[in-house]
Each structure stands twice: as C-alpha cells, then as structure tokens.
C-alpha cells in the first residue's frame, strides 16, 4: 500500500470529506490557469460554510503549500464565491509525518 504520495493523501482527504458532499462541491486537481489546486471545496448554494483550497506537498513544508496557493492565485478560480475561504497547506513525508497550516481569508 502507498501511504506517502499525493494521490493517496488526496484520496484519504476525499474519503474523509465524502459526507461533506451534501454541503460542498468537491474538485480534485482543479485547473486554476497557473497550475492545479489539489482539492477545492465550494459550498453548495444556500450553505453558509467556508470554501477550502487544499494544497499538498511532499517533503517540503505546509508553509510552501500555502505560499503556492497565493503565488499562483488559486483564489482567482473561485472569484465568484464570496465569503470566508480556508487555505490549507499539508506536507507529508516518507516517515508518515504530516504538518498542516490553515489560514483564513475573506474574499
């Protein structure tokens, strides 16, 4: 079994948020114009929930994942959404050690 690659971690996150599909539209590898956001959760109409943009990194840092979201302007892709957005950076390593940073922004 693979534990330390982007696809495995994205699948784990997708399964963890499976029940959230009633509240969110979930996109994997969403094209943003300057790259692909690993996972994007957009609240369904009428739901008062934050949107989430999740970037995964392997052997780098959660800070670098957040910075990539900002540098590549992933927020632009969801510009029609207004409200709170959670930027989530997750780093994973071969030793099964994971770090996560969550930053809240308003658009």
Neighbours of 62 (CB within 10 A): 21
The answer regarding whether domain 6-106 maps to CATH 3.40.50 reads no
Q: What is the pLDDT, as a whole number, of residue 19?
A: 76
The model carries a pTM of 0.81
Output the pLDDT for position 9.
67
Q: How far apart are CA 79 and CA 70, in angstroms?
A: 14
Rounded distance between C-alpha atoms, residue 28 and residue 54, angstroms = 10
- In this predicted structure, what is the pLDDT of residue 102? 95
Check residue 53 and give its pLDDT.
92
Query: The tokens of 9 are what?
Result: 């971690």
pLDDT (tens digit, 0 to 9) for every residue of the chain, 107 residues total? 455 566 666 676 667 677 788 888 888 777 666 777 788 899 999 889 999 999 988 888 999 999 999 998 888 878 777 789 999 998 887 776 788 999 999 87
């Amino acid at each position: 079994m693979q534990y330390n690659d982007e696809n495995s971690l994205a699948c784990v996150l997708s399964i963890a948020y499976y029940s959230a599909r009633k509240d969110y539209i979930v996109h994997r590898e969403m094209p943003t114009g300057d790259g692909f956001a690993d996972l994007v959760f957009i609240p369904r109409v009428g739901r008062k929930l934050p949107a989430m943009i999740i970037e995964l990194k392997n052997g780098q840092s959660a800070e670098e994942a957040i910075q990539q979201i900002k540098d590549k302007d992933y927020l632009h892709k969801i510009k029609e959404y207004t409200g709170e957005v959670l930027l989530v950076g997750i780093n994973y390593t071969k030793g099964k050690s994971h770090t996560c940073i969550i930053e809240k922004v308003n658009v």
